Structure 1
Amino acid sequence: MEKPSDLQNPLFTDEDAAWAHYETLRWPDGVVCPKCGSVGNATRLANKTTRRTRKLKDGTTKEAEWTRRGVHKCKDCGSQFTATVGTIFEDSHIPMHKWLMAVHLVCASKKGMSAAQLHRMLGFGSYRTAWFMLHRIREAMAERGSLPPLGGAGSSGIVEADETYHGKVENPTEYTTKGEKFRRSKAGKGPSNKRAIVALIERGGKARVFHVATANRESVERIVRENVDKSARLHTDESRLYPRVGHEFAAHERVKHSRGEYARGDVHTNTAEGFFGVFKRGMTGVYQHCDEKYLHRYLSEYEFRFNTRTKLGVNDKERATLALKGAAGKRLTLRPTQNA
């Protein structure tokens, strides 16, 4: 069995080694020009040191220095570029070895790592640097493009569907999608307008998790239809959101929690509930606060770790490699005009 990644590995301490590693992941078949698309026809330029003086909020100035590494010049179109162009790392002055360390730490932490802790461990100048860095990493973890339906051929054929609600009633500054403050339900069992989350989990396979404005029948049925193979067995609890759409699949089997039934043979939703358990412990114990407009990014993080868990044969090093490969083709700037 492969040993866990050593935190003293040169990838996490040496900038040149870190750049060489990322270039290998980004360009496995040779350097690719992002402008004209030519492959293996670029010249590496010498590293260049740059100095810049910044004015801080307190009126003082600070001189910053960094070395621009990994610059290539395309022989076909003449453009200059690095392996970070068109990725979450573009325009970042954070050293690449710290990026690799951050990705490894986040991927190796089952319930996540807070920006405050990352700030302390990597020695950043500000908390916001670590906070923005984590959001970029979550963007790299998010799956994009067309995905095959869950529960199809080659799988267990069972898909669990469940929903949960996230938020804090006690905090008056917390709001729902509609801009309303959280309120308690008539039954007194918690807020009636928390942030709704729907999860579809293939038994023994992967998960897909969605934040929806309202978990009603229409929104849940649309998610199930678009993401579950018609040949699958759908497992749910007694929720009234699933009976109608359940008829569209090979079988719809339910467990009756109100009667103390949590499993009947292989019929249960324990995998989905286990996923929600890890998510909630992480959100309350690690992150503590999450603005609703960023909730989908946190869900992408927990979904990614679940889909690359040890039981599926993925270790910490491989999980970090997958996250780094997912950085390509994604940018995240969080400008004020951007709808995050």
Structure 2
Amino acid sequence: MNYPRMKFCKLLSELDSEEKARAWIWLAKFDGKEFICPQCGNELYWQHHKNPEIRECKKCHFEVRLRAHTIFQKSKTPLLIWLRAICLVTQGKRGISALELQADLGMKSYGTAWILLHKIREALRQRDEIYKLKNVIELDGAVFGRRQTGNQVEVLVAVETKDWIDQKGRRKPKAGFAKVLVAKENKEEAQKFVDGAFQKNSMVNTDGSPSLVHLENVDVDYQVVGSDPEMLDHWLPWVHKFISNAKSWIIGTHHGVEAKYLSQYLAEYTFRFNRRHDPDSLFFRALGACVHAKPTTSQALCG
């Protein structure tokens, strides 16, 4: 799908009413069209005269509800607030905390702001599950959190790399998509990560960790680099940069997070990282993810 592109300032000025928010969600729901009946495929509709969030197919009279089968399902929060929240999540590298979101959007409840952000993160996580890494992939484990607080979490991180030619004709690697799994660094979890996130027969570069060097369905190349930071950065530059920047983001924007919610925060960070080369379309990509995500409940998110 060709996503619209819009600068942050323009987005905020355009998102000025509930009516505009509904219009954008309808377009995202039907991939750029105002209506497509899920029952018969007809594109003509009547607008419900009392409820602007319902459209009725002119052919088979099937009613489509705007929030149904989206991350907004059963939410009582105005759609304008939802879209402005998505806008603030996707603009810039640092995202936004629940406390900042509550203040910026004038929300009465911190809890509502927190739930909104976690539902958005869940939608972004679901969208990135569609893709698999390929070509040459850097794979490593990391530990997030502080030992003193007992809040440490093991994470597996993978970043695909691609070659590009610079202006002088030199071949250089650059980072492509990334994937993250909150799991212990052992062979079973690593194999599960590879099976779910990597295309078969990809080339995997990793260190000499016993849990990572005997993976199946991929070609593994590894070097025992020990703790020498120069060797680590030379052999696995992109995955280490991703890990370092993700840790800095969690501390800088959120001042740390609870271990049980780490995967959701990393889903947000990874979604932005994977689309960093086209920031002007990021809002519309995230909106599409929210509209097509499987609905989730506050209870499920709170665990």
Structure 1-normalised TM-score? 0.74
Secondary structure of residue in 1 paired with 2:126:
coil
SS in 1 for 2:298: coil
Indicate the residue corresponding to 1:335 in structure 2. Answer: 299
Q: 1:254 to 1:111 in 2, by over 3 A?
A: farther
Residue 206 of structure 1: SS of its match in structure 2? strand
How far the C-alpha of 1:292 sits from its partner, in A, is 3.1
Measure, in 2, the Cα distance between the counterparts of 1:33 and 1:226.
Answer: 33
Structure with higher helix content: 2
Aligned amino acid, residue 323 of structure 1: A
The DSSP-based 3-state class of the residue aligned with 1:258 is coil
Q: In structure 2, do the counterparts of structure 1 residues 319 and 148 end up closer, same or farther at CA, with 3 Å as the change threshold?
A: closer
Superposition pairs of residues 164-183 of structure 1, within 5 angstroms: 164-171=142-149, 182=150
Residue 5 (str. 1) matches residue 8 (str. 2) = yes
Deviations 1:34-92 (A, max 9, x none): 5x45432431023x4xxxxxxxxxxxxxxxxxxx5332133455454432211011232
Deviation at 1:120, TM superposition (A): 0.1
Q: 1:207 aligns with which of 155, 174, 178?
A: 178
Contact 1:234–1:252, Cα closer than 8 Å, also in 2: yes
Question: What secondary structure does 1:124 align onto?
Answer: coil
1:108 equivalent in structure 2:
91
The Cα of 1:289 is off from its aligned counterpart by 4.2
**CA 1:97 to 1:228, structure 2 compared with 1: closer, same or farther past 3 Å?**
same
Aligned to 1:196: 154
Aligned residues: 284
| Unmatched runs of 5 consecutive residues or more in structure 1 | 49-67, 152-156, 172-181, 183-190
Q: How far does the alpha carbon of each residue in 1:212-247 deviate from its partner, in whole angstroms, 9 at most, with x for none?
A: 1x221221133224433444332112322222228x
Give the TM-score normalised by the residue count of structure 2.
0.82
Q: 1:120 aligns with which of 103, 126, 138?
A: 103
Match of 1:23 in 2: 26
Aligned partner of 2:227 in structure 1 is: 258
- Contact (CA 8 Å) 2:126, 2:293: kept in 1 or not? no
Please say if residues 30 and 39 of structure 1, whose CA atoms lie closer than 8 Å, have aligned partners that are also in contact: no
Please identify the structure whose Cα radius of gyration is greater.
1
**Closer, same or farther: CA 268–301 of 1 in aligned 2, 3 Å:** same
**AA paired with 2:191?**
E
1:40 partner letter: E
- Whether the aligned pair in 2 keeps the contact of 1:136 and 1:332 (CA below 8 Å) is yes
Q: Aligned-residue CA RMSD in angstroms?
A: 2.8
Residue of structure 1 equivalent to 2:283? 320
Structure 2: unaligned runs, 5 residues or longer: 162-174
What does residue 124 of structure 2 align with? 141
Query: Taking every aligned residue pair, what percent have the same amino acid on both sides?
Result: 26
Maintained 8 Å contact 1:142/1:300? yes
